[in-house]
């Protein structure tokens, strides 16, 4: 299957640069995955589409303020560091800019020396293995010195860092937000519970690979990035119970979808408590084993995310819906509007 099949024209002005003042004030496109029909609503109208006994599955990962700005100790040259993955102890895989200034043994200082890092290893495309030194608790130091690593298509500065976190974010470790969850408020979650809708949580730490374009022409040749996930016994038991009682499992975001499908694939359609790394690549032709519907944002042309959505709702249905979204001036990407697929 060719990547170009998932291309569409997106005017740059439709890429949302800032979040709306009210989280649930975004628009909601409802796409029927069987017929391809589309309806236009506001996000709060989601309450009209979920039923008692259904279950929404949310990703409770919390985004690290993983972008650090420091200087080389020997020359004072400015260095930008993006944390990608903790390997062991205080050693992290990172991306640095400008990479040519950071070689093995280079020492970088942040916050007037409150945090320092030594380069232990170099790799291609700006990759560096850094070992950090500090006093106290690393994540507390990071909260004080770091900034949110907003996606490359967002050019505006984010005034309130919490607007790139979901209201239910609690498990530290993500390089990007699970953006479908950004629309929910505490009040809306309570209203869903009052209606008899179950709310389940899992964790998948989003990697920057989620923004990486597909660089091959044929999907079968794409090498999907790996991300860490964790599902508790309570969540697994709830999902199995919902399934047995005939309720629908509706994943919130592609991250929740990939986690649930990974587990269901490995356990013959059942949900079990587990953790590990997933590099599952879902595109048309995939048979879903875990979910009945999905809430998601509007994604980049030719991205693995629009391919996943197309696997659930059909490529022609999705491309047609996206063309309608462009015509109706929906807001796209992380701070944009939402789509409900049922």
Integer Cα distance of 286 and 307 in angstroms: 10
Q: Are strands 198-204 and 55-59 parallel, antiparallel or unpaired?
A: parallel
What confidence score (pLDDT) does residue 210 get?
A: 59
pLDDT of residue 128: 93
Low-confidence residues of the chain, pLDDT below 70? Answer: 208-215, 219
Q: Which pLDDT tens digit goes with each residue over 5-56?
A: 999 999 999 999 999 999 999 999 999 999 999 999 999 999 999 999 999 9
Phi, psi of 117, rounded to the nearest 5 degrees: -145, 140
The separation between the first and the last C-alpha atoms of the chain, rounded to the nearest angstrom, is: 25
What is residue 156's predicted lDDT score, i.e. its pLDDT?
A: 86
Instruction: Tell me the two tokens of residue 342.
Output: 């049922």
Q: What is the structure's pLDDT at 187? A: 98
**Quick one: pLDDT at residue 137?**
94
Buried b (16+ CB within 10 A) or exposed e, 56-74: bbbbbbbbbbbbbebbeee
pTM value surpassing 0.75: yes
What is the model's pLDDT at position 72?
Answer: 96
CB of 337 closer than 8 Å to CB of 297: yes
Q: What token pair was written down for 137?
A: 């608790």
Yes or no: say if 175 and 191 are a contact pair by the CB < 8 Å rule. Answer: no
Name residue, tokens 């994604």: 299
Domains of the chain: 3-63+160-341 (3.40.1780.10), 67-147 (2.40.10.240)
Residue whose C-alpha is closest to residue 142's, from 216, 201, 66: 66
Spell out the residues 6+ positions from residue 109 whose beta carbon is closer than 8 angstroms to its own: 70, 71, 72, 73, 115, 116
**How far apart (Å, rounded) are the C-alpha atoms in residues 48 and 29?**
13
CA dist list (Å): 306 to 77, 202, 233: 40, 22, 31
Q: Which residue has the tokens 């990407």?
A: 333
According to DSSP, residue 214 is labeled P
Backbone angles phi and psi of 101, in degrees to 5: -85, -10
Residue 208 is predicted with a pLDDT of: 64
């Amino acid at each position: 299957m060719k990547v170009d099949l998932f291309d569409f024209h997106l005017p740059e002005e439709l890429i949302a640069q800032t979040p709306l003042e009210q989280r649930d004030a975004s628009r909601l496109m409802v796409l029927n995955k069987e017929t391809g029909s589309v309806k236009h609503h506001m996000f709060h109208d989601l309450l009209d589409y979920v039923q008692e006994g259904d279950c929404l599955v949310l990703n409770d990962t919390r985004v690290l303020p993983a972008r650090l700005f420091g200087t080389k100790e020997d020359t004072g040259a400015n260095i930008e560091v993006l944390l990608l993955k903790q390997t062991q102890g205080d050693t992290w895989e990172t991306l640095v800019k400008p990479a040519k200034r950071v070689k093995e043994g280079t020492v970088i200082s942040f916050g007037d020396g409150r945090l320092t890092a030594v380069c232990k290893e170099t790799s291609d495309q700006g990759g560096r293995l850094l070992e950090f030194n500090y006093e106290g608790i690393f994540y507390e130091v990071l909260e004080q010195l770091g900034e949110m690593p907003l996606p490359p298509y967002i050019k505006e500065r984010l005034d309130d860092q919490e607007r790139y976190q979901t209201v239910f974010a609690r498990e530290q470790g993500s390089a990007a937000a699970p953006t479908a969850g950004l629309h929910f408020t505490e009040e809306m979650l309570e209203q869903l519970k009052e209606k008899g809708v179950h709310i389940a949580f899992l964790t998948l730490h989003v990697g920057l690979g989620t923004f990486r374009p597909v660089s091959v022409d044929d999907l079968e040749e794409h090498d999907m990035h790996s991300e860490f996930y964790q599902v508790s016994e309570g969540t697994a038991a709830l999902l199995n119970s919902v399934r047995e009682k005939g309720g629908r499992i509706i994943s919130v975001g592609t991250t929740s979808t990939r986690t649930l499908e990974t587990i269901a694939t490995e356990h013959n359609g059942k949900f079990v408590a587990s953790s590990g790394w997933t590099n599952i690549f879902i595109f048309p032709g995939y048979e879903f084993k875990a979910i009945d519907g999905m809430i998601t944002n509007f994604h980049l042309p030719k991205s693995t995310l629009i391919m996943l959505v197309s696997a659930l709702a059909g490529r022609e249905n999705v491309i047609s819906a996206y063309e309608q979204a462009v015509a109706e001036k929906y807001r796209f990407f992380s701070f944009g509007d939402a789509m409900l697929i049922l």
